Amino acid sequence: MLYTADKLGEIIKTSRLKMGLTRDQLSEKIGISPRYLMSIEHEGKKPSYDVLFQLIRYLTINANDIFFPESIADTNEERKLLDQMIKLCDKYEINVILATAKALLSKDRK
């Protein structure tokens, strides 16, 4: 794999903390043990492809950050945080967010 295990663990832990998730919560969401996640984050354990895929998807990590670290683009941190937070929302909460965004946009344009 193209990523280094130390950098991968750091990226996963940072993303998890930004989403406000505990190790137990994330482990439950993706179907691994908290101990396995800890070993990825802190001990340089290389996850299987399936686990890596789930982590990238659930934490909305830009795969380029892992596979092409030399070309990490500047990404708006607020956008990343919003993407991560939206992933935790249910359908009702997403509808509230959409209605709020539409109201704000129409207010600014009048």
Spell out the domain ranges in the chain: 5-109
CA–CA separation, 68 and 72 (whole Å): 7
Distance CA 38, CA 8 (A): 12
pTM here? 0.61
Q: What is the C-alpha to C-alpha distance for residues 74 and 50, in angstroms, rounded to an integer? A: 27
Is the pLDDT assigned to residue 1 strictly greater than 80? no
Q: In this model, does residue 15 exceed pLDDT 90?
A: yes
Q: Which fold has domain 5-109?
A: 434 Repressor (Amino-terminal Domain) (1.10.260)
Query: How far is the C-alpha of 66 from the C-alpha of 108, rounded, in Å?
Result: 38
Q: Residue range 4-17: average pLDDT?
A: 85
Give residue-wise pLDDT tens across range 72-86.
555 567 777 888 888
What pLDDT does residue 85 have? 87
